[in-house]
Amino acid sequence: MDLLVLPSWAAARDDLTRACAAAAVTGFLSHVLYFIKGYRDMQAFHILVGHVLAYGGITAGVATQSGIGRAFVVSTAVFAAYLASLFTSIVTYRLFFHPLRRFPGPLAAKITRFYGPWTARNRQMHLEQMKLFKQYGNIVRIAPNELYIVSSDAIDKIHASKSKCRKKDAGVYNAMESQGDFNLDGMLTREDHRWRRQVWERAMTTKQLAVYENSTREVCHIWLDELASADGQPIDTTLLANLLTFEHMGKVGFSHDFGVLQQGKENAMLEYLQVMFGIMGQMGELVWPLPIFKGLGVSGDADKFDQLAQEMADRRLNSGKNHTNDIIGHFIEDLQSNKPLAFFSHKTLYLDSALILVAATDTIGVVLSYLLYHLASNPSYQDALLDQILPLFGLKIPGEFTAGDLSTLPLLDACINETMRLDNPVANNAARLTPPEGIQVDGTYIPGGISVRVPGYVLHRSEAAFERPEDFIPERWTTKPELVKDPKAFFPFLTGPNNCVGKRLAMNVMRLVVAYTIVNFRFRFAPGEDGTDIYAKAKNHLVIRAGPLKMVFTKRG
């Protein structure tokens, strides 16, 4: 009997060896014939399903011959051989044959995109990037097929109108697709983006901004009431500034009052937004899990936020108000026109409705938080601003400011610009894919088909671009221009056709909030507050969210 078993066992072993060898060849060919050929992140769910089905098929096939126990052993061994060969081929290629093999960067980043989540583990990816550039120089290989470039020349080569770099297949943009459509920020082609942006620009004309100012002033007065009601007690200005901007976008975006500023706490929509961005921030620009989450139906908070944004759009759409006194009114006008430019369906309306809330809430709120921090750290600027601002109070509207008047004050804009330089919430501008012929940046050739991005946080704090880059010096934008070595390095609102469409609105909001605050209050750090937490506890959730900052506001006499 033993003599019969031994040949049978040997034959089974030989069969398994041949199967593993075939699997190893398949793994190698999968890499060189498929995975190496282009951007595969958006196929991640189908790739996962295919591999699971293959594993199940092998297991089922062997089970009919040798039993389930043997089947799991065989299928696991075969898949281990396949995966070992696949990943050996991938790692070998990325280290020794990839077009970026000669660019400096951490070894782990050259091998795997999981280096991104590692750098984002503490949700302070922007600080990790600073360390990388100090160690490796101005061009760093941050992922197998991606470079971070600290250079004003890169801004022009990557983002300018004449650039041939594209969004498609560069990273997160592909994952922003929803039922075949994208919001304005996610649109992959310049032609589609151009038509959609035209509708947005109708909502951002000088005439429309003047209409929105009434809502901005209303929110400013609610803000002042909240500061006054604290009666000299410490206030978390980071939270309050974020609530202010969300309340503002409710009014300006949808003619809707959220009431969050008066309540002093986030509503469900803000909470979903923070959770959603927090998860994406911790993923460290890793894109391929997103289609898997979507395919498995586990993108819960994102879906809940989108649902609430859709309800906001439907409420406004069904209100019977046919006006364009808010941003969404322009979208509805285009949707309901005989020849719409870009809003051809309600789905498009819903996507850009969500973008209204996402684009302005954290960004403006973060800048205001840090601006108040800098003015409290440097109280002489409060006095200087008061001297310039006070003569404009009631100049055109009794008891009020106008954004137009405030835009003439060099020091006010200088303080805002200096805050955006030091603490721009968009630390990592989204990637672009280089054209097949590649690009030249500062004399260095960047091959084609490479994801490239300019980390604004790092460039804005670069000694090559700014003297004393870590210091808050508003005068660099007014009386001391020599402190700006490279003016092109300052790009808080991006540049080119994808620059921030709402930048004038954002500046108006910040000017008005600061002006009303300065005229009505003196402010300082609360007792026991040293201002460290606003940086130490900041979280990079795709946009940087400032840490808590306790301040005391004292009514001026």
Binding-site residues for heme sit at: 500
d(C-alpha 208, C-alpha 154), whole Å: 34
Q: CA angle 353-44-301, nearest 5°?
A: 35
- Lookup: tokens for 40: 């595969």
Q: What is the 3-state secondary structure (H, E, C) of 284-320?
A: CCCCCHHHHHHHHCCCHHHHHHHHHHHHHHHHHHCCC
Are 220 and 514 contacting, i.e. CB atoms less than 8 angstroms apart? no
Residue stretches of the annotated binding site: 500
Are 217 and 400 contacting, i.e. CB atoms less than 8 angstroms apart? yes
Of 238, 297, 307, 239, the residue nearest 269 (C-alpha): 307
Q: CA angle 150-151-156, nearest 5°?
A: 130
Are 513 and 223 contacting, i.e. CB atoms less than 8 angstroms apart? yes
Amino acid letter at 163? S
User: How many Å separate Cα 533 from the centre of its chain?
Assistant: 22
Crossing angle of helices 503-520 and 410-423, in 10° steps, is 110
Question: Terminus-to-terminus CA distance in the chain, angstroms?
Answer: 105
User: For residue 147, how many other CB atoms are within 10 A of its CB?
Assistant: 24
d(C-alpha 212, C-alpha 509), whole Å: 10
Where residue 189 falls (left for φ over 0; alpha for ψ -120 to 50; beta otherwise) is: beta
Are 427 and 457 contacting, i.e. CB atoms less than 8 angstroms apart? yes
d(C-alpha 129, C-alpha 120), whole Å: 10
Of 80, 62, 108, the residue nearest 23 (C-alpha): 80
Where residue 123 falls (left for φ over 0; alpha for ψ -120 to 50; beta otherwise) is: left
User: For residue 344, how many other CB atoms are within 10 A of its CB?
Assistant: 12
Q: Which residues contact 146 (CB under 8 A, 6 or more apart)?
A: 171, 431, 450, 451, 452, 453
d(C-alpha 163, C-alpha 128), whole Å: 29
Q: Which residues contact 356 (CB under 8 A, 6 or more apart)?
A: 249, 253, 254, 327, 328
